[in-house]
A and B are shown apart, each in its own frame.
Chain A
Amino acid sequence: MKRGGHLFRLLLITASIFFTMSFLNAGKFLTVQNFTSMSFQFPELGLFALAIMFSLITGGIDLSVVSIANLAGILAALIMTRFISPDASGLPALIWIIIAILTALLTGFFAGLFNGLLITRGGITPILTTLGTMQLYMGIAYVITKGPAVYGYPELFLSLGNGSIWFLPLPLVLFIITALLVGIILNRSRFGFNLYMLGTNETAAKFSGISINGMLVKTYMFSGILSALTGLLMIARTNSAKADYGSSYLLQAVLVAILGGVHPSGGFGTVSGVVIAVFALQFLSSGFNMLHFSNFTAEFTWGMLLLVVMVINYLMKERTN
């Protein structure tokens, strides 16, 4: 019920941002062009936020998501730039693209597995583990590339970040599918149910016979794979991969998740909340952009929005008590 209240208020706030921006940017905001351009922009942040949500629900946090995304993206980029000749097309190119994508996803899988093992077997707290692996994975990416960006991928792969199916931008399609899958995992599966229980009360979860270590390893693996997917999207959209891309995404993604109602001490968080929160941020960012404010105005309002929403939540809770 309490969570429902937060979601409803967030929806109201997001809707009012939407209407305000439509009003202030009459004729520009409510256009197909704007919606198309927004649909290319928000999925990356949204996917990172979904990745971080998994670990936040268990009461941990994954700070290595952006580093994993870059590492996975760089490995995929290297495969595509080394093994596909510029004039290659058709089947051989397609096979190498698939190999590149699989390598990236496997990278995410193993990076997440390593995080999970350090947390469960090594006994290091999640925030410190991922603080360390964030540096480590970024470091490995630096060592592999020695610094410069890796760029120039086949057209077919680039369409993943820039193409559309009918009128739906592919990044949007990818985001919708992922959000639905995450939603199903969290709400319809045994794993999801246990995840919330683990975050709410670890002792209770342990006594109900759940393998907590197994759950945590899976959590960070999921987060790693989602990050790798985001990494693929990033390099496909920008046609370039680099060790330190998108580092500002990290805290923004935590902000989106928390704004969406995920509680940093665990147990709470819904996909719909995160999706609405990422919309709110994108509306603000695009709206301010059209008003010729700098993007820093959006950054400023994002912070305000987070605090205002949390304060309202607090006041509502206090009133019901």
Chain B
Amino acid sequence: MRVLTKKKLFQHRFFLFLVLLIVSVTIGLKNPVFFSLSNIYDILKSSVVMGLFAVGVLIVIISGGIDISFTAIAACSMYVTSKLLLATGVTDSLVAAFMLAGFTGLLLGIFNALFISRFKLPTLIVTLGTASIFRGFMLAFIGTTIVNNLPQSLVRFSKLALFEQTLPNGEIIGLSFSIIILLIFILFCWILLRYTILGRGIYAMGGDPVAARRAGFNLTAIRYFIYGFAGFISGLAGIIYASMMRNANPFDLVGTELVVIAAVVLGGASITGGKGTVTGTVLGVLLLVIINNSLIMLNIPSYWQKVAIGLIILAGTAATVQRKVTERQGKLV
């Protein structure tokens, strides 16, 4: 049985990979610019923030929860960090910026975990509430104006590039350094889920919390880790987003949470918990980012974008459906 499920998951990832390949080749045939180095760099750069979010969301979803507060955490972390760094004059240290953003995210994530763990409230309810608490608090008490003069460290970070080269037309292209941070977290998460007891615990909790507790897993500790980690990674994603945008706009990011969740589920994670892989998630994110970035290359007007994304979510999830509708796992959120 276990072998069967594993095979199925592999098949899903393979299927997703094929779709990604077909989409890429189609776009590339229509418009060779798609396979140009600068476009590939662009797509990778666009995947960083969504990819970081997705890694956090993946762990939450595997554990049987759902988090819709991560964009609010990211917005909050990036805004608080930018303001604090400017106010204290620590504008030169990139480490300080990342530490502060990650720490803010971690704190907010632990706030989520507190309610989920201590009061045993459904994760959807808690994160629904905290999403409006975090965002409301930031906009009501910290500020609503866009920070346009980001700390120097973040401006420098946004210019940091790998494999820099000058094109014949004089344009300098390079791969955004932030991709390294995404890769580190992808690797971390892959090892965590595959080779650690904690990872086993996360899967076990999503599969059956009662059985997981009987098997000796400390569910409280695991929950604090999951939501703390999701918060931490969202905080980092927030500050990277600010550096890419060259400003910190407190109204950004919130509203994109459902698309990230869609990418993770497209990647084969089961919304009822217990299933999901890092490779699948990466493929899901890439697919959505490519659709988002490249429709224009097919001469498809951008207002078709949402239709395409909607259809892909439906087709992608329908493909993974267990055929027996009667086995529909009733409780979904």
A binds B: yes
Nearest-CB residue, chain A, relative to B262: A131
Of the candidate stretches B33-41, B227-235, B310-318, the one touching chain A is: B310-318
Q: In whole angstroms, what is the CA distance A244 to B140 when docked?
A: 24
Q: In whole angstroms, what is the CA distance A132 to B130 when docked?
A: 25
A: which residues have CB within 8 A of B? 59-61, 63, 118, 120-129, 131-140, 142-143, 146-147, 202, 213, 247-248, 251-252, 254-255, 258, 264-266, 293-294, 296-304, 306-307, 310-311, 314-315
Q: Is the CB of B132 within 8 A of A143?
A: no
Within 8 A of A (CB), among B170-184: none
With contacts A251-B68, A254-B128, A314-B120 taken as known, whether A124 is within 8 angstroms of B314 at the C-beta atoms is yes
B332 CB contacts on chain A under 8 angstroms: 59-61, 125-127
Nearest-CB residue, chain B, relative to A202: B330
A122 CB contacts on chain B under 8 angstroms: 314, 318, 321
Q: In whole angstroms, what is the CA distance A277 to B311 when docked?
A: 35
CB of B331 closer than 8 Å to a CB of A: yes
14 residue pairs of the A-B complex, CB under 8 angstroms, read: A123-B323, A123-B328, A131-B262, A136-B307, A139-B310, A248-B255, A265-B331, A265-B333, A266-B330, A296-B135, A296-B140, A298-B136, A300-B132, A311-B121
Most chain B CB within a 10 A radius of its CB, from A126, A134, A135, A137: A135
CB distance from B316 to the nearest CB of A (A): 9
CB of B290 closer than 8 Å to a CB of A: no
Selected from A136, A146, A300, the residue in CB contact (under 8 A) with B303 is A146
CB distance from B91 to the nearest CB of A (A): 27
Q: Is the CB of A299 within 8 A of B140?
A: yes
B121 CB contacts on chain A under 8 angstroms: 307, 310-311, 314
With contacts A143-B307, A251-B128, A303-B133 taken as known, whether A128 is within 8 angstroms of B331 at the C-beta atoms is no
Q: In whole angstroms, what is the CA distance A207 to B133 when docked?
A: 43
B122 CB contacts on chain A under 8 angstroms: 264-265
Q: In whole angstroms, what is the CA distance A202 to B326 when docked?
A: 10
Q: In whole angstroms, what is the CA distance A147 to B304 when docked?
A: 10
Selected from B128, B137, B305, B328, the residue in CB contact (under 8 A) with A258 is B128
Q: Is the CB of A302 within 8 A of B309?
A: no
Selected from B135, B313, B325, B333, the residue in CB contact (under 8 A) with A135 is B313
With contacts A118-B314, A306-B129 taken as known, whether A142 is within 8 angstroms of B306 at the C-beta atoms is yes
